Structure 1
């Protein structure tokens, strides 16, 4: 039996060091393939020390490539992000592209990366991007590899702008510092959707052994096929123009956003935002925050609030580390996060202006999109103003692809959003984009300032016109897949087999949609219109009081998320009563549907 020379001596002698032949085989293959000295040494050390549990975590199951690509901790093994898994993934992706595009070698692929790195394993986003470029150029594929870190939106923008076959972004977005990821875009500029995910996954499995050229980043760096698109793309991305003097604070939360948001504000002729100095520059250790996610609230934004108080600013913007999301907070009188519904107000105003200018004929061709777990405010505006509103499955891969379909039909896609602070403000980027969203939000803040109006006051006007839409979203942490499955199966068999709950502690359920099984009680044939997936859990309950609640599993984190909204009719302005009613509904759902104590669910950490 072949034994690579760098195996631990016990394994070279044929001893089953782990007591698990399958695990030993996986370790031997890994050490045969891996040329990264740090990850190989780490595996040898675990074998030497008999760290069986940790070896099983590293080699028990390969990361699954899905529509979200890959996302996992950096480190050795097939379950982690490292040089070898990046090589295997890119080899499979390259072969799949060769099958799909006869002109791949003419059009090419763009690759971007954020600022993450992991000293212990020698992995970094830049290193992973260079390896991906080496593989593609070795097959004669032109590669547009950014020379510096960029926001995630730059990759889909480049795909569309240059007419490329695909794009790769190496980032874990707002995940903890030890994580990294590999996100893929298709030729339409949107994230991949089925069947490409399964096709790429199958191709990866067929191309696990590294090609001789795959490790040679030096040869790739000297290849005439390698181009740096940064200057051209950065210039083209910023071809917009506005003006204002309003004061805004911005934090990039130790990510890549600072340079690009500053440039976007300059392109809009907006006053440059005050940057949070301690969080301005990329730092893969994220030293000032526990979780580099603006969704977590005050714990991430405390430094921003302090700077705003010092400079007399009343608005704070925060990007996540790869700058594809944007959080907004406003002082009133203390800083509070502004509901994402404010962006619906921005585009709603655009629609109203089109109608006011006598362009009603154009309104019928205007579209706005939102994920199914997001606020229904756009639906309310669309019903009154006459434009089209569509829901998609959760994730911008669905909104981006649907947006491209509509654009190809000659429609105008004004806006798309998801409640997880993601906004697509221009069809130039068919993905969430925290840089353009920051510039457009800055423009909105500036315009409202000329009218002596705040974001919160503008939001109140929207509610008065279209009805209050009060949201309350959170999650539970659960690492046990069996517990998650049992929780959702209980809801599907609540009062006997194939029966969903009819009420929840006094709140009557009027409709159920289950996008795991494909059931939708609102349809005459009880079959859901939106695509379904048995690999993820997602159930939506509609209540008689105007409440909507969705429970779903996360595709990238060990979370069961819930999204609730109370949609009131215009004229119902008793906000205290509405908030109390939504709180009661959420308490009922948590107690009856989640049963956190029985299921040992950990609540969202305080922030």
Structure 2
């Protein structure tokens, strides 16, 4: 494109923004860039549109089509309305949609803008009257049989970000091709209607109802009371274990307090992090996965009150984290998502056996993602229930759970290593509130037997076999380099030949699954049964000694990630030998497959 044409195109985009945007702050932001003749920044903001994907929208709150702001939300809402009219019109006409929001800047406003667009079109809107955990929206979609659900949240992203997450009518996050269809509908409805800006229409409108109280009561009944065995609640009250809880400046506290009151559990909220705070003023990254940096105030609170157990939700309360103080050494251990998943899998299996003895284990399933621990698979082989893994992301886990239930199976637990847990099939998405509830019951059971949860974890590994994980990543800012690395792996010793092992075949590869190309030599026809995407890189290797490792790219960051796990038989008790083997193998895989020095890869710090 010529310089002249490029300048004309940018000028047209600037004029379009100045004409369409009615938010004074973002309008002034663009005007300022125009007055400074900052064409580079204007081009970044106006030439590139924030794309709608299977996670909806997520980005920085600022002016421009590449960011989150009033105008982009209006365009998105108008497009989404058009999509639902085209593909879900019966449900939309009958039951409308659900809209919720978190405590970030602009979240409430953008929820109201979305509601305004649908109300103007004559549809029912269940707009939560206050900030809610994301799982409440997923729950409400199925409860009211709505066409869809929208929650305005950026989960645990930094404070300058926000997002727009969409659930399908089945209560699961959207998957392809819905994302592409919504994106196309947005592009066809970019001109903002004058009525889309006027949220005053929502006040006392008969089409708008607040489902908050009903959803809270239904959640307590269906997700807690109907599922937690009465004897477990009695045990909770007997043990009387004190839990420190952090909402990480998010929306979890009110719901968590009601839930733990219902099951006879006491929590001590971290005062400075209890209530929503869009500044996230006490943490640099509001994510329990960050470990000590995000849990410092929790440790202080626990020490003050003599508690040995810390519970944590991320800001939209769909994830759950946990830490425990060793009563012998006084040291705190932050449990990984895989370790929590191991404990929860064991616990929910025991709960199922007790609560539903009429459902045989051969009709029961547990699910985890491909990059999570394979401990559930190991348990399944030993106990007689079923296991299946899915692609990374709860959208895949949720859809698989519904598919299995349709076939007559009962899904009792699902998890992924990024501290996401699904403890029932009423909510087919990760839910940090019900996960916390179940985990407190587990903790009271364990402590009531004079153990700590770290002891129970060791006991589980002694029963089923040690599962050691090592997950990390490299930064790589050149997409061409990433493609070069993965193509070399696929043509390792000639065209279309993968590696056969590492360290001169000291450790041999027994199976390979490439979900970029669709190759899987563990299947009879060498074709992968999991969904394949040529737009992302993902290869899994299984070695003869039980090591699984998945190499993949990030969809949102310039990273090459690896997820490894060494699965040992129960007879192998020497943890230090297993740890040394895992370190030796992962180091060799990274060096031989990635060639980090040659390609200028930057390892994860710390």
Q: TM-score, normalised by structure 2?
A: 0.92
Which SS does the other structure have where 2:552 is aligned?
A: strand
Question: 1:283 maps to what in 2?
Answer: 277
Higher alpha-carbon deviation: 572-581 or 239-248: 239-248
Of 390, 413, 416, which aligns to 1:415?
413
Which SS does the other structure have where 1:214 is aligned?
A: helix
**Distance of 1:480 and 1:170 partners within structure 2:** 32
**Distance of 1:205 and 1:358 partners within structure 2:** 50
Structure 2 CA distance for partners of 1:276 and 1:361, relative to 1, 3 Å: closer
Structure ranking higher in helix proportion: 2
The answer as to 2:203 corresponding to 1:238 is no
The answer as to 2:97 corresponding to 1:109 is yes
**Distance of 1:361 and 1:144 partners within structure 2:** 36
Q: Is the 8 A contact 1:354 1:363 kept in 2?
A: no
Which SS does the other structure have where 1:85 is aligned?
A: helix
CA RMSD of aligned residues (A): 2.0
**Distance of 1:490 and 1:47 partners within structure 2:** 46
Structure 2 CA distance for partners of 1:483 and 1:358, relative to 1, 3 Å: closer
Question: 1:121 maps to what in 2?
Answer: none
Of 246, 253, 265, which aligns to 1:251?
246
Q: Is the 8 A contact 1:83 1:128 kept in 2?
A: yes
Question: 2:27 maps to what in 1?
Answer: 40
Which SS does the other structure have where 1:236 is aligned?
A: helix
Instruction: Give the CA deviation at 1:218.
Output: 0.9
The answer as to 2:43 corresponding to 1:77 is no
Number of equivalent positions: 584
**Distance of 1:544 and 1:499 partners within structure 2:** 18
Q: Is the 8 A contact 2:508 2:544 kept in 1?
A: yes
Of 336, 352, 369, which aligns to 1:371?
369
Q: Within 5 Å, give how 1:404-483 maps onto structure 2.
A: 404-483=402-481
Q: Is the 8 A contact 1:71 1:556 kept in 2?
A: no
Which SS does the other structure have where 1:213 is aligned?
A: helix
Which SS does the other structure have where 2:470 is aligned?
A: strand
Q: Is the 8 A contact 1:319 1:327 kept in 2?
A: yes
Q: Within 5 Å, give how 1:150-229 maps onto structure 2.
A: 150-229=132-211
Of 131, 137, 140, which aligns to 2:122?
140
Deviations 1:473-494 (CA, angstroms, capped at 9, x unpaired): 1223344333333332232222
**Distance of 1:395 and 1:313 partners within structure 2:** 33
Of 296, 305, 311, which aligns to 1:311?
305
Of 225, 240, 265, which aligns to 2:260?
265
Deviations 1:488-535 (CA, angstroms, capped at 9, x unpaired): 223222233322222233433222211111111212322111001122
Which SS does the other structure have where 1:153 is aligned?
A: helix
Which SS does the other structure have where 2:197 is aligned?
A: coil
Which SS does the other structure have where 2:402 is aligned?
A: helix
Instruction: Give the CA deviation at 1:391.
Output: 0.7
Instruction: Give the CA deviation at 1:316.
Output: 1.0
Question: 2:39 maps to what in 1?
Answer: 52
Question: 2:333 maps to what in 1?
Answer: 336
Q: TM-score, normalised by structure 1?
A: 0.92
User: Structure 1: 5+ residue runs without aligned partners?
Assistant: 1-15, 118-123
Q: Is the 8 A contact 1:537 1:553 kept in 2?
A: yes
Which SS does the other structure have where 2:539 is aligned?
A: strand
Instruction: Give the CA deviation at 1:409.
Output: 2.9
Question: 1:578 maps to what in 2?
Answer: 578
User: Structure 2: 5+ residue runs without aligned partners?
Assistant: 226-232
Structure 2 CA distance for partners of 1:593 and 1:26, relative to 1, 3 Å: farther
**Distance of 1:17 and 1:126 partners within structure 2:** 42
Structure 2 CA distance for partners of 1:471 and 1:193, relative to 1, 3 Å: same
Q: Is the 8 A contact 2:362 2:386 kept in 1?
A: yes
Instruction: Give the CA deviation at 1:18.
Output: 10
Q: Is the 8 A contact 2:348 2:413 kept in 1?
A: no
**Distance of 1:137 and 1:277 partners within structure 2:** 39
Q: Is the 8 A contact 1:354 1:360 kept in 2?
A: no
